Structure 1
Amino acid sequence: MDFSPLTDALASKSYGKIADICDELMLKAAAELEGTPFEEEWPFAIHLLAHFYVNDINGARFLWKSIPSAVKERQPEVVAAWKIGQRLWTRDYAAVHEAIRSFDWTPQTQPLVAAFSEVYTKRIFQLLLSAYSTIGIQDTALFLGMNEDDATSYVLQQGWVADPASRMLTVKKQPVATEQKLDPSKLQRLTEYVFHLEH
């Protein structure tokens, strides 16, 4: 099995492409190696994590169901990756970070786990941004998977305001960039009006 497209994507940190690459390689392997078990060498942990990276929980669930139980029993990293998926599925935001930290990832998988952790923290931050106007420091730390000092520092860099006395954070909403659409008929009328004024 030629894993070079996957190896190249991992080396270039093109994590957003890995789920599709793995899906295509798996279909190819299933067709080419019909009747031959290829699952033992398949990078299931990376494949699962790549689906999490692009926020494709359903794709990860279907992949998990297709993994032979013998592989799940022999590859603890695959099970550890799926623990992240279970937390994502139940929207247990704080437990996602816990699942990431609770396993000693292999050198091949670790960079993808770190990249997922970073992108996941940004997604949760956006969720907090849209859902709260004020939130406690402790809750923010739980959601972001950080200690309270790091979480406070992280959100203060985004313009939030901390009240040490109440241990509350005031969320600073990001300005929404609205795109002005130009109505051609209004532009035509304006042109005619300006022309009329000048003549």
Structure 2
Amino acid sequence: MMLPTETAEEIRAKYTEMQIELENLEIERGAADEVPADSVTSELYLQLMAIYLIQNDLPNAKFVWKRAPDNIRKSASLSGMHRVFLALWSRDFPATYTALNGTNWTPSVQPLIADLRSLTVLRARSLLSNSYADVSQEDFCLLMGVPMSTEGVAEACAELGWTLNGGRVIPAKPAPPTEQPLMSEAHLAKLAEFISFLEC
């Protein structure tokens, strides 16, 4: 299965600058009277939509799809990205994995797709470990994108540090986050901010 080595925040942070550049490029190209239907424009929409999906900004991903010219929307890659969007929008993990694996992605977007798949696995892991005491092997495979085999489930459970017992997967509960105590000046600043908010 190979769990992602980066956290969700680290993955998302990698694309902040690229997102800004692509948004600016789209604005510049949109200022032209007619948007050219070249491969650069197609890649622009494809990468921008992928980045919005990575950032979990589904409304903006939807608007990228709506803004894209019809001839670009018909491309296999952008149609595939739209299928990924629809699966994420409906929170359908199996359909998300199917859409991610079922499209022949262009080389420029393959790293984004790999990171999007990693984020989907991280989201599913968080959902399972925080919400379930145990889950069936079938549901585990569907939610985590693991091949439906006893060996695949056993390998994934070992990698996650989870237990496989009698056809059921028992997720390990995540460690509770440690809260940093606020310093006294921070307490006063927060209290002053709260009081000034109430006075308004």
CA deviation profile, 1:120-171 (whole Å, cap 9, x unmatched): 21121111111111111111110011214334423332321111xx200111
> Could you tell me the TM-score, scaled by structure 1's length?
0.75
Which of 151, 161, 164 in structure 1 is aligned with 2:163?
161
CA contact (8 A) 2:137 2:168 kept: yes
> 1:30-179 residue pairs with structure 2 within 5 A?
30-31=30-31, 34-40=32-38, 41-42=40-41, 43=43, 44-73=45-74, 75-148=75-148, 149-163=151-165, 166-179=166-179
- 1:15 is displaced (CA, Å) by 3.3
Could you tell me how far apart the structure 2 residues matched to 1:94 and 1:162 are?
21
Identity score, percent? 22
Instruction: Note closer, same or farther for the CA distance 1:179–1:90 as it changes in structure 2 (3 Å cut).
Output: same
From the CA coordinates, give the structure whose radius of gyration is larger. 1
Instruction: Note closer, same or farther for the CA distance 1:62–1:157 as it changes in structure 2 (3 Å cut).
Output: same
CA contact (8 A) 1:45 1:109 kept: yes
User: Which structure is higher in RCO with an 8 Å CA cutoff and minimum separation 6?
Assistant: 2
Could you tell me how far apart the structure 2 residues matched to 1:182 and 1:93 are?
39
Could you tell me how far apart the structure 2 residues matched to 1:61 and 1:91 are?
15
CA deviation profile, 1:49-86 (whole Å, cap 9, x unmatched): 1111111111100111111112222x211101110001
Unaligned runs of 5+ in 1: 1-12, 185-199
More moved, 51-60 vs 143-152: 143-152
Instruction: Note closer, same or farther for the CA distance 1:45–1:180 as it changes in structure 2 (3 Å cut).
Output: closer
Unaligned runs of 5+ in 2: 1-12, 185-200
Aligned residues: 167
Query: Tell me, what secondary structure is at the counterpart of 2:160?
Result: coil
> Could you tell me the TM-score, scaled by structure 2's length?
0.75
Could you tell me how far apart the structure 2 residues matched to 1:18 and 1:57 are?
17
Provide the alpha-carbon RMSD of the alignment. Answer: 2.1
Instruction: Note closer, same or farther for the CA distance 1:71–1:94 as it changes in structure 2 (3 Å cut).
Output: same
- 1:28 is displaced (CA, Å) by 2.6
CA contact (8 A) 2:65 2:73 kept: no
Instruction: Note closer, same or farther for the CA distance 1:183–1:130 as it changes in structure 2 (3 Å cut).
Output: same
Query: Tell me, what secondary structure is at the counterpart of 1:106?
Result: coil
